[in-house]
C-alpha cells in the first residue's frame, strides 16, 4: 500500500506527507477490520486438559461470546509442560484476534521460572482481561497438633524436617504456595510431590502426609466433614465460602499471598480495537448472574480491570514467582 500511495502522490507531496498519509490509511484499514471482528471462528487455547478448571472457564466465557458474535468460539485443549506448549502456540500466532490463550498463574507467572521457553510472558502477549481469581487453603490432617497458622509454624520450628507437605506436582501453585510459606516463616517442611490433586488428596485424607495448600473447591467438602482442618486461606482477603477462616497474612505471616487466577491474552501486536472488543464483551459476561453463579461453583470470584492493569499484574506475578522458584531451588519434573 505504501509504495502505491507514494507513487501516486509523488508529484504533489513531500516524503513526510506521503508517509503520514500512508500511516493514516493503514490505521484506517486496521480499524475497519477490527470493527468487523470477528468474521470467522475464534480459537481459545486452554493449556490444560478437558475438565480442568482452565477448560471450564474457557468454555464458560466462550459460549456466550459465540452467541453475541454469531461466530463459533472453539476451545482447543493443548496440555503439556505446565502450559508452556499452549503459550508458545499463541505467542507465534497471527495477531489478528482469532487465536487467544486462557492463561493462568501456573502458565504465565510460574512456568517462566521453571522452563526454558521461546516466549516472554510480558512481551509476547497483549493482555486482554483478568477473568477470575481464587484462593488456595492451607489444610492439615486432624492428627497434626496445630489449630492455627501460628501454632503450625511453632510446631515446624520445634521439629525441623519432621513435617511434610504434599503438592500436585513440582512448580504447581500448590508447591509454590508452600515454598513461599516456608521462606516467610523460616521453617523446614519436606516436599512430597504427587501427579495431580486426586492422588494428593487421597494421601492427605489417609494421614500419609501432614498438610497441603490446595483449592477450596477440592477441600471444602472434607473441611466441612471434619476430615481435614483448615488453618488459613492464601489470599489477602477472606474467602466468601469460608468467611470465618482467617487469611494466612492476618494469622502471623504478614503479606503472605498467593492468588490462583485466570485471564485472556492475545498475541503481541493484536490491534487495540480488537483487544477493546474482547475486554468489553468479557466484562459484560462476567456481570451476568449466571456466569457469577457458575464461577462460584468452581470456587472462583469474577475479576475485571483494564488490559493495562492485567499487563501490570502479570509482570508483577512473574517477578514474584521467579524469585520464589530461584530461592527455593525448584526445578521442573
| Dihedral angle sign, alpha carbons of residues 324, 179, 313, 53 | positive
pLDDT at residue number 297: 84
**Residue 29 reports pLDDT greater than 70:** no
pLDDT tens-digit readout, 145-188: 999 999 999 999 999 999 999 998 777 888 999 999 999 999 99
pLDDT tens-digit readout, 42-70: 999 999 888 878 888 999 999 999 999 99
Burial 277-312 (b: 16+ CB within 10 A, else e): bbbebbeebbeeeebbeebeebbbbbbebbbeebbe
pLDDT at residue number 293: 92
Stretch 116-135: mean pLDDT: 95
**Domains in the chain, CATH or no CATH each:** 41-133+261-328 (3.40.190.150), 135-251 (3.40.190.10)
Q: What is the pTM of this model?
A: 0.78
% of the chain with per-residue pLDDT over 70:
89
Amino acid at each position: 500500500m505504501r509504495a502505491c500511495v507514494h507513487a501516486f502522490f509523488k508529484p504533489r507531496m513531500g516524503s513526510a506527507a506521503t508517509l503520514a498519509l500512508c500511516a493514516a490509511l493503514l490505521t484506517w484499514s486496521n480499524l475497519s477490520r477490527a470493527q468487523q471482528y470477528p468474521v470467522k471462528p475464534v480459537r481459545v487455547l486452554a493449556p490444560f486438559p478437558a475438565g480442568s478448571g482452565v477448560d471450564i472457564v474457557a468454555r464458560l466465557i466462550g459460549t456466550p461470546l459465540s452467541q453475541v458474535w454469531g461466530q463459533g468460539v472453539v476451545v482447543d485443549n493443548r496440555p503439556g509442560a505446565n502450559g508452556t506448549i499452549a503459550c508458545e502456540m499463541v505467542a507465534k500466532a497471527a495477531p489478528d484476534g482469532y487465536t487467544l490463550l486462557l492463561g493462568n498463574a501456573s502458565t504465565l507467572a510460574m512456568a517462566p521460572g521453571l522452563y526454558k521457553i521461546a516466549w516472554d510472558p510480558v512481551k509476547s502477549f497483549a493482555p486482554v482481561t483478568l477473568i477470575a481469581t481464587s484462593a488456595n487453603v492451607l489444610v492439615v490432617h486432624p492428627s497434626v497438633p496445630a489449630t492455627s497458622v501460628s501454632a503450625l509454624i511453632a510446631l515446624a520450628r520445634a521439629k525441623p524436617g519432621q513435617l511434610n507437605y504434599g503438592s500436585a506436582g513440582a512448580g504447581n501453585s500448590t508447591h509454590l504456595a508452600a515454598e513461599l510459606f516456608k521462606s516467610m516463616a523460616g521453617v523446614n517442611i519436606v516436599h512430597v510431590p504427587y501427579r495431580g490433586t486426586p492422588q494428593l488428596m487421597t494421601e492427605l485424607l489417609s494421614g500419609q502426609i501432614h498438610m497441603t495448600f490446595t483449592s477450596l473447591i477440592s477441600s471444602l467438602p472434607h473441611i466441612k466433614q471434619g476430615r481435614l482442618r483448615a488453618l488459613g486461606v492464601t489470599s489477602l482477603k477472606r474467602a466468601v465460602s469460608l468467611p470465618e477462616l482467617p487469611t494466612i497474612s492476618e494469622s502471623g505471616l504478614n503479606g503472605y499471598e498467593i492468588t490462583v487466577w485466570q485471564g485472556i491474552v492475545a498475541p503481541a501486536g493484536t490491534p487495540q480495537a480488537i483487544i477493546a472488543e474482547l475486554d468489553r464483551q468479557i466484562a459484560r459476561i462476567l456481570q451476568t448472574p449466571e456466569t457469577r453463579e457458575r464461577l462460584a461453583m468452581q470456587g472462583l470470584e469474577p475479576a475485571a480491570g483494564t488490559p493495562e492493569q492485567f499487563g501490570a499484574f502479570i509482570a508483577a506475578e512473574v517477578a514474584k514467582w521467579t524469585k520464589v522458584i530461584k530461592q527455593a531451588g525448584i526445578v521442573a519434573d
